[in-house]
Amino acid sequence: MLARLKERQKEIILGALLVAIAFVVWQNLGGGPGGPGGTAPAGGGPRIDLPGITKMMPQVDWAALSAPRPFYDPSGRNIFQFGVIPPPPPPKLTPQEEAAIEAARLRAEEERKRQEELLRKQQEETAAQVKAQQEILANQPPPPPPKPQPPPINYKFIGYVGPSENKIAVLHDGTDLIFVRQGEKLGGQFKILEIGYESIKFGYTDSRFKGETTTLPMSSSY
C-alpha cells in the first residue's frame, strides 16, 4: 500500500511539471504579453525561455522517478487494517555467545545441585537431633506424681465471742453457725490453730499436709 502511495505522488509531480511547461510555452507562443495581442519580441519569432522554465520547475529526483516500481504484496501489512506486527526473529548467536550461555547454564545447574545437597544434609542433621532427644526422654525416669493439695475450706469466719484470751470463733458452713475454740478439730479434716481479731488460721489433720496452714479473713456476709 505504501508503494502505491509513492507511485501516486510521482504521478502528481509529473502532472504538475507538465502543466507548468505548457503554461510557459503558451505565454511565449502567443497567449502572453508577447503573443498576437502584445508586442512581438525583436529578432524574429517567439523563443522559449528555458532558463526561466528551469527555475520554475520544482526540485525533482529524476533518478527516483525512473527507478523500477517495487512489487506489491497483497498479503503484506495494510495501514488501514488493525493488526499486530509480528516480532522480529531473534538474532543469531555467535559461537562465543552460545558458549557463554552454555557455561552459565552449567554453573546454574551445579549451584542447584549444591543447594539440594546442602538442604538434604541439614534435614538429616535435624532428624538425627530429634531422634537423639527422643531417646534421651525415653531413658529418663517418669516424673514424680503431683503433690497432693489440701482440701478446700468451705467455711466463712464471721467473728468471735468471749474474752480475748479465750475466744470462740463463729463460723458459717453455708447452712448453720458453728462455734469452735482454738485447738479444736473441725469436720474431721481441719484444726483451729489460731483465732485472731480479723482472721482465723486452719491446720490439717492429714499427715500429708503437716505444717501447711490456711488463713481466712473475716467475712462481712454469710
For 143-159, how does the pLDDT look when each residue is reduced to its tens digit (9 = 90+)?
888 889 999 999 999 99
pLDDT at 222: 67
Contact (CB, 8 A) for 60 and 12 = no
- The domain segmentation of the chain, as residue ranges, is 2-66, 97-124, 156-217
Say if residue 116's pLDDT is above 80.
yes
pLDDT at 38: 47
> What is the percentage of the chain residues whose pLDDT exceeds 90?
43
Query: Is 0.75 topped by the overall pTM?
Result: no
pLDDT at 48: 54
How many CB atoms lie under 10 A from the CB of residue 171?
22
Cell of 192: 483451729
Lowest mean pLDDT across 162-166, 200-204, 209-213: 162-166
| pLDDT tens digit sequence for 90-109 | 888 899 999 999 999 999 99
CA separation for the pair 6, 43 (Å, rounded): 46
pLDDT at 36: 47
Burial 145-167 (b: 16+ CB within 10 A, else e): eeeeebeebebbbbbbeeeeeeb
Query: Average model confidence (pLDDT) for the chain?
Result: 80
Tell me which H or E stretch contains 188. Answer: none
pLDDT at 172: 93
Say if residue 182's pLDDT is above 90.
yes
- Top CATH class of 156-217 equals mainly beta
Say if residue 199's pLDDT is above 90.
yes
Return the closest-CA partner of residue 204 out of 146, 166, 148. Answer: 148
- Beta-carbon contacts of residue 41 (< 8 Å; ≥ 6 apart): 34, 47
Contact (CB, 8 A) for 20 and 53 = yes
Render 66-104 in DSSP notation, one character per residue: HSPPPPP-TTS--TTS--PPPPPPPPPPPHHHHHHHHHH
> What is the percentage of the chain residues whose pLDDT exceeds 70?
71
- Look up cell 504538475; give the residue: 16
CA 175 to chain centre: 69
pLDDT at 108: 95
pLDDT at 40: 47
Say if residue 119's pLDDT is above 50.
yes
pLDDT at 221: 74
| pLDDT tens digit sequence for 63-92 | 776 777 777 666 666 666 666 777 788 888
- Beta-carbon contacts of residue 217 (< 8 Å; ≥ 6 apart): 157, 198, 199
Phi, psi at 136, each rounded to 5°: -65, -45
* Local structure of 195: helix, strand or coil: strand
